A and B are shown apart, each in its own frame.
Chain A
Amino acid sequence: MATTTHDAAGAAAGHAAESAGMPQLDFASFPNQIFWLVVTLVAIYWVLSRIALPRIGGVLADRQSAITGDLTAAEEFKLRAKEAEAAYERALVEARSDAQKIVGQARAEIQKDLDAATAHADAEIAARASESERRIGEIRAGAMEAVVAVAREAAADIVAAMGGKADAKAVAKAVDARLKG
């Protein structure tokens, strides 16, 4: 440590004498520094203005235009997507109304079939009912005749049993009168 600092101090000693401890105020080095500074600045300015700045500026401009282009393209795609969505929506509405229509038609048809079937059934029922009624009427009429016949016979038998001579006509008349009364 001591030897290295000694070397540095020894090298510094020559300048230190004239700069009084502050190398910044060693005016002997000024022309040198200023000369090399000017060379450096010119070199940097040359590199920047000839190569670096146009290139970076160009890249930035390219990027800006690319971004702008992408944004407009995105805007366009968005518009297209919106259109597609509207078309889809329209198709959906159409399909729904179609479906509605088909459902209505089907319902009407079914109703018609149903009505026809109902009417048919009603007619059949009515026919059957009148048929049965007629039969019931026949049966009732048959029954009445039978009752009359049985009553006449019975009355004739009763008269005969009483020892009378049963006049068939008179018995029938009497029975009919009783049946009415």
Chain B
Amino acid sequence: MATEEAGSALSFHPMDQFIVKPLFGDGPINWYTPTNVTLWMALAVVGIYLLLVVGTRGRAVIPTRMQSIAELAYGFVHKMVEDVTGKDGLRYFPYIFTLFMFIVFANFLGLLPRAFTPTSHIAVTAVLAMAVFLTVTILGFVKNGAAFLGLFWVSSAPLALRPVLALIELISYFVRPVSHSIRLAGNMMAGHAVIKVFAGFAAVAVISPLSIVAITAMYGLEILVSFIQAYVFTILTCVYLKDALHPHH
């Protein structure tokens, strides 16, 4: 507001794109209110449906382009789960694939102009990360019983160091969901905010060419980041799952 009162053309609202707004009217946001969150998550579902269901409806042995992409995504995550967690982790492949597809689609749809990015919200990523954390922890105890605690007892270290290491391991274990969620939300938020800041500079004629070049470059970087963050989130989920299935180092 202060900038506008000063009469400057520069006005930055880089965070406005993250505001959760009701789709219809301007009422309060209840838990059931259809908001822009609903819209963009629904678009992600539609996108996933188009790619993985409509794209593969031919069931062709020689795939079409869309089917090829769907198979590529399937193979990518399937191989990741198998490589990181082993054969017994493949039971959880549908859950991990769901996470991956949701994050990838939310990230990429969020790159469209005027879009809303659900994955830039800590509320969303925290739920994802907590779901992974709780699932993995419960699964660890169910599969291994008390032996799951062996994850914190580094048997290869000298005996005197083990309690200290156990404490550190315990803390790092509980920090996992925090880093897991903030990494994704922070990356998405920062990239989008930076693009908006550059867009704000574009209003000044002198620096607008530079600003547009910078937006283009940032956009390219964000495309990379969108995929990499989905990949990182998914592979960390696999790593945590591996710890639950095979707690011994």
Contacts and interface: CB of A to CB of B under 8 A. Distances in A.
Interface in B11-66: 11, 13, 15-16, 18-21, 28-33, 35, 37-38, 41-42, 44-45, 48-49, 52-53, 56, 59-61, 63
A23 B101 contact: no
B218 interface: no
B108 interface: no
Contact of B20 (A21, A29, A40, A57): A29
- Residue of B4, B28, B37, B120 most packed against chain A (CB within 10 A): B37
Interface stretch (B92-100, B149-157, B223-231): B92-100
Interface residues of B, number: 57
B65 to A, nearest CB: 14
A53 interface: yes
Given A29-B20, A33-B20, A21 B15 contact: yes
A53 B20 contact: no
Interface of A: 1-2, 5-6, 8-9, 11-12, 15, 21-26, 28-41, 43-45, 47-49, 51-53, 55-60, 62-63, 66
A90 B9 CA distance: 93
A72 B41 CA distance: 47
Contact of A59 (B56, B128, B203): B56
B34 to A, nearest CB: 8
Nearest to A40: B41
A48 B121 contact: no
Contacts of B184: none
A32 B37 contact: yes
Contacts, number: 151
The interface residues of chain A, by DSSP majority, are classed as helix
A154 B41 CA distance: 160
B235 interface: no
A24 B121 contact: yes
A33 B37 contact: yes
B75 interface: yes
A12 B67 CA distance: 42
Contacts of B41: 36-37, 39-40
Contact of B203 (A1, A6, A23): A1
Given A1-B203, A8-B16, 18 more contacts: A5-B13, A9-B4, A15-B19, A23-B18, A23-B121, A24-B120, A24-B189, A32-B35, A37-B118, A40-B44, A41-B98, A45-B94, A47-B52, A48-B48, A51-B52, A51-B53, A52-B56, A58-B59
A22 B1 CA distance: 16
B20 to A, nearest CB: 4
The interface residues of chain B, by DSSP majority, are classed as helix
Interface string B182-202: 000100010000000000000
B70 interface: yes
B124 interface: yes
Given A37-B41, A40-B102, A47-B49, A53 B121 contact: no
Given A8-B13, A9-B1, A52-B56, A37 B19 contact: no
B139 interface: no
* 4 A-B pairs closest in CB distance: A52-B52, A31-B31, A29-B20, A40-B41
28 contacts: A1-B203, A2-B9, A6-B4, A9-B11, A12-B16, A12-B19, A23-B16, A23-B18, A26-B20, A30-B123, A33-B35, A36-B41, A37-B37, A37-B124, A39-B41, A41-B98, A44-B44, A44-B48, A44-B101, A45-B98, A47-B45, A47-B49, A47-B52, A48-B48, A48-B98, A55-B59, A56-B74, A59-B67
